[in-house]
Amino acid sequence: MQFFILGFGGAIVGPLIPVLADFFKVRLDVIGTILSMNAFGILIATLFSGIVAERFGKKNIFIAGCILLIGSFLSIYFSSGLALFTAGYAIFGISLGMVQVNAISIISDFYLLNRSKMLLRVLTGTSLGSFVVPGIVSIVLLKNINWKYIFLSIAILNTALIIIMAALKILGTGKIQEKEGLKSLFIANKNLFKSPIVILCGVISFLHYGTNMAFSSWFTTYFKGQDVSVSKSSLLLSIYLFVFGMGMFLKSFVFTRFDEKKVMFYSSLLAFVFLFSSIFTQHLAAKFILILFFGFSFAAVGALGLAAAIKQHQGYSGSVTSIIGGFGYTGVVVLQYVTGYLTENFSASSMIYVSLASLFFMVILTSLLSHSKYPN
C-alpha cells in the first residue's frame, strides 16, 4: 500500500503539466525544472538515507520519510504560489527517496532466496498507483474540481496508513548499529563505489529510471502535440501505466525460469524496437498500441539490475540500494530537464527521441551485463 501511495504521489504532476503551466503562467521548461528539483530531492535522499539507515535503523528512517511525505503534500495543498509549490514538491522527493530506499532494503533483507521476485511484485504497487492517477486527474479536470485536493487526499491517505501500521505493530524500532561499526560501514561503502557490477547496474538504472519518469511525465504533453486533449491523454497514460505494471508483475514469474540478466537485455531490445517503430506510423491507435508494447517490454529492467547488484553485496542492501537509486534519480534529474527543454524549444516528440537514445545505450549495457562473469 505504501508503494501504491508513492506511485500515486510521484505520478500526479505529469498529467497536470499543461494545467500547471497555465495556472502558474510559466513555460514548459520551468515545469521541467520543477520536476528535476523533485528528482534532485529523491536523489539526495536516495544517496544518503540507505547509508544512514545502516547506522540508525531502516524502520526509523522509513517512518521519518512517511511523516515528511505527509507534510510536503499538505504544504502543496496550502501553497498559493509557484515557489511554495516547488519547495513542497522537492521535499516530497526527499520523503519518497527515504521511504522507497528503506522499504526496498527491508524487503531485500527479509526475502533472501526470492529477492528479485518480491521486489518486482512490491514495486508493481508503484505502477498501480501511477496507473490510477491519470484517470483521477481526468475526472478532476472534467468535473472542474481544484487539482490541489488530489495532494490533500494523498496526505490523508498516508496518515491513515501510518496509523494502521502503528496499530498493527508493523512499524517498530529498527536495530541501531554500534558506533564501533561506523568506520567499517564507510569503508564498505567506499568499496561499493568501486564495484564493477554496482557501477554497471547503476548506469543502467540512470537510463531506466530517467527514461521511465520522463516518458510518463511528458506523456500527456506529447499527445497534446498529437491533437489529443489532456483529459483523454490522461486516460491513455493510465492504460499505459497499467500495462507497464503488468509487465513488471508478470516478469516476476518469467525470470525464475530464465536468466534475469538475459531478461534485462531482451526487455531493453524489444522496448527499443517497439518505440522506434512507433515513430513511423501516423495512425494514432497504432502508435499507442506500439507504445503499450514498449511499456510492457521496458518494465522491471531497473529493478532487476538492483536485485543483481544486491545479490553480489548482500550484507549492505541499504547501501547498494542507495547507490543504485542515486544513479537512477540522477538520470531522472537529467532526463526530465532535457526532455522539458527539448519539448519547449523543438518538438513535443522530443520525449520519444530522448527515450530512444537512452534505450540504445541500455541495449548495449544490458548485453555487457548478460555476458559478465557475475553469477546469478
**Which residue type, as a one-letter code, is found at position 224?**
K
Residue 331 near residue 206, CB atoms below 8 Å: yes
Task: Please give the Cα distance from 202 to 168 (Å, whole number).
Answer: 36
**Which residue type, as a one-letter code, is found at position 41?**
G
Give the chain's radius of gyration (CA, Å).
20
Percent of the chain residues past pLDDT 70, beyond the cut: 86
Which element (helix H / strand E) includes 11? helix 2-11
Mean pLDDT, the chain, as a whole number? 80
15 falls in which pLDDT band (50, 70, 90)? Answer: confident
User: Would you say residue 189 has pLDDT above 70?
Assistant: no
List the domain boundaries for the chain: 2-370
188 falls in which pLDDT band (50, 70, 90)? Answer: low
Give me the pLDDT at residue 298, please.
94
What average pLDDT does range 324-341 have in this prediction? 85
Task: Please give the Cα distance from 132 to 319 (Å, whole number).
Answer: 31
Q: What angle do CA 252, 102, 339 make, to 5 degrees?
A: 70
Interval 73-95: pLDDT, tens = 898 888 878 888 888 888 988 88
Residue 34 near residue 89, CB atoms below 8 Å: yes
Strand, helix or coil at 178? coil
For the structural domain made of 2-370, what CATH number should be given?
Answer: 1.20.1250.20
- pTM exceeding the 0.75 threshold for the entire prediction: no
Give me the pLDDT at residue 376, please.
47
DSSP 279: T
Distances, alpha carbon 201 to alpha carbons 18, 108, 261, 326, 365, in Å: 34, 17, 11, 11, 9
Interval 134-163: pLDDT, tens = 778 778 877 888 888 888 888 898 888 878
362 falls in which pLDDT band (50, 70, 90)? Answer: very high
Give me the pLDDT at residue 365, please.
95
In this structure, which long-range contacts are made by residues 70-77, counting pairs with CB atoms below 8 Å and at least 24 apart in sequence? 70/155, 70/158, 70/159, 70/162, 71/95, 73/9, 73/151, 73/152, 73/154, 73/155, 73/158, 74/151, 74/152, 74/155, 76/148, 76/151, 77/148, 77/149, 77/151, 77/152, 77/155
* Residue that wins the pLDDT comparison between 166 and 179: 166
Nearest to 185 by CA among 317, 335, 348, 25: 317
Nearest to 9 by CA among 52, 64, 72: 72
